[in-house]
Amino acid sequence: MPERETENDLGGCEDGLPWSAPPALAEKPHGIRYGYVAMDAERRQPALHECQLEELEEKVSSGEALEVVVPEYKNLAPPSIVESLWPAVQKRERMRREKERQNAIFNVCLFGGITIYSIRSADRAWQIILMMFVLFGLVPLVQYLIGAVRRRLKGEETFAEMRERTLFAFWLGAGDVPATRWCVRGLIAVFAVQVLAPALASQNLIGAALQYLFVVSPASIEAGALVKPLVREGETWRLLTCGLLHGGLLHIGFNAMAFSAVGAVLERFYGRAILLLTFFLSVLGGSLASQLLMPDTTSLGASGGVLGLVGFLLVVGLRYRGALPADFAKSIIRSVLFMAAIGFLAKDYIDNAAHGGGFLVGCLIALPLVLHGNVHDLGRYAEGRWLRNCGWATIGVLSLTALWLVLRLLAASGVIAG
């Protein structure tokens, strides 16, 4: 079979989808017909091994081969896009799904037992523990079962579907997403101040730090949480500052992971300015919804902004569902349903109004972009000067707000003079 150049594959031309060309991996060494890249256990770095086709198939099926050398491609290639290795890839996927099943059952048993114990012992945090059971146990098991039912009804994933999904994942991972990265780092930095500032003012530094790592400190509430009566009295800035604070390690951990995942996709599709504007406006929209619909509660967290990113991607996924990988829109829908279920189970701890308001704002921001654009804009969206200026302004507002909030946290904790 003749070698084909990377840039001549599907979508490599101007009018193709940006993720339809094979990833630009390293060129394969001259003279090697078959080979694979695997992690060297001793050196703890990838190493290239020359082999015969039979050994290559064995390494692919076991999951050891990260990249492969085959005659079809000039460069190294992921095994999932090489049609001659499709039987080995299918075997690898069956082994992966079996491991997922075992892990899901183990997590259901582990977290289910902890949940039952917490309920029977009248632990006041039983709803949070139940949420962990759903998040780490029930959801993975349900996802596995949904996949099993889908395969039973529609058959196994085809090579074309796997190839498209693999190319899309490589394309997403190849792009730089600095806005997403720095937003997540900023949220984590503010949370670190939330934990350390009141701990520094305490006589028991380590004990206080461990306490505030899992329970929000009074200083955080005073400094910038969405305290509804104070907002009505004129402290409207809390509508924004509350989105930069979090209630504990589980809270910031979940939001940071969610922001990293959905933010990277949105930034890769439409650029950093639209990502920042969507997050900023979704935080405000979620806070306003909470202020109007839940007037007697105190709220904090970036969840409204994160749900805005999810809502944006849901609109994009539904509008371009014929061109995006088959499971893209479905994965977003599953995320929305999952958040709705978590909100119902832990309604005493989660501000569902903020979630819903942020989600709606994200959907509204995406609508004009998808109605007046096309799927080829994804990854190639041209930011005009006005939009770039809005992006820089948003960076400035969020950065200054975070800095001001850190100073308020230090003052509320008594570390510095108020």
pLDDT tens digit string along 69-83?
999 898 999 999 999
Statement to judge: residues 282 and 332 lie in one domain = yes
Q: Write out pLDDT tens, residues 116-133.
A: 888 787 766 666 677 778
**Domain end (from 84, 109, 130):** 84
Predicted TM-score of the model (pTM): 0.85
Q: Write out pLDDT tens, residues 88-120.
A: 999 999 999 999 889 889 988 988 888 888 878
- Residue 188: predicted pLDDT: 97
Instruction: Read off the tokens for 239.
Output: 């509508």
Calculate helix-pair angle for 272-293, 249-270, nearest 10 degrees.
130
Statement to judge: residues 230 and 152 lie in one domain = no
Tell me the C-alpha distance between 154 and 143, whole Å. Answer: 16
**Domain end (from 56, 84, 112):** 84
Statement to judge: residues 59 and 200 lie in one domain = no
Statement to judge: residues 384 and 273 lie in one domain = yes
Statement to judge: residues 394 and 339 lie in one domain = yes
Statement to judge: residues 109 and 229 lie in one domain = no
pLDDT band for position 345 (cuts 50, 70, 90): low
Statement to judge: residues 210 and 130 lie in one domain = no
Let me know if residue 249 belongs to a domain.
yes
Phi–psi pair at 390, nearest 5 degrees: -65, -40
Looking at the annotation, which residues are catalytic?
A: 303, 355
Q: Write out pLDDT tens, residues 331-340.
A: 888 778 777 7
Let me know if residue 279 belongs to a domain.
yes
Let me know if residue 170 belongs to a domain.
no
Statement to judge: residues 144 and 208 lie in one domain = no
**Residue 81 backbone class (left: φ over 0; alpha: ψ -120 to 50; beta: rest):** alpha
Arithmetic mean of pLDDT over the chain = 87
The dihedral of CA 399, 185, 287, 220: what is its sign?
Answer: negative
Let me know if residue 164 belongs to a domain.
no
pLDDT band for position 14 (cuts 50, 70, 90): very low
- Residue 6: predicted pLDDT: 38
Q: Write out pLDDT tens, residues 126-164.
A: 666 777 787 778 878 887 888 888 888 888 888 988 998
- Please classify residue 31 by burial: count the beta carbons closer than 10 Å to its beta carbon, then call 0-12 exposed, 13-18 middle and 19+ buried: exposed
pLDDT band for position 368 (cuts 50, 70, 90): very high
Statement to judge: residues 30 and 154 lie in one domain = no
Question: What residue numbers bound the domain in which 150 lies?
Answer: 92-158
**Cα–chain-centroid distance for residue 136?**
16
Let me know if residue 31 belongs to a domain.
yes
Tell me the C-alpha distance between 165 and 270, whole Å. Answer: 20
Tell me the C-alpha distance between 94 and 91, whole Å. Answer: 5
Let me know if residue 418 belongs to a domain.
no
Q: Write out pLDDT tens, residues 282-301.
A: 999 999 999 999 888 899 99
Statement to judge: residues 145 and 191 lie in one domain = no
- Residue 11: predicted pLDDT: 33
Statement to judge: residues 213 and 355 lie in one domain = yes
* Residue whose tokens read 């004990």: 207
Domain count, the chain: 3
**Domain end (from 32, 62, 84):** 84
Let me know if residue 137 belongs to a domain.
yes
pLDDT band for position 361 (cuts 50, 70, 90): very high
Tell me the C-alpha distance between 97 and 297, whole Å. Answer: 43
The answer to whether residues 240 and 313 touch, using CB atoms and an 8 Å cutoff, is no
Instruction: Read off the tokens for 413.
Output: 């904790």
Let me know if residue 200 belongs to a domain.
yes
- pLDDT over 90, % of the chain: 53
Mean pLDDT, residues 369-387? 87
Instruction: Read off the tokens for 233.
Output: 């009295």
Task: Assign residue 187 the CATH number of its domain.
Answer: 1.20.1540.10
pLDDT band for position 5 (cuts 50, 70, 90): very low
Statement to judge: residues 67 and 100 lie in one domain = no
pLDDT band for position 418 (cuts 50, 70, 90): low
SS3 217: coil
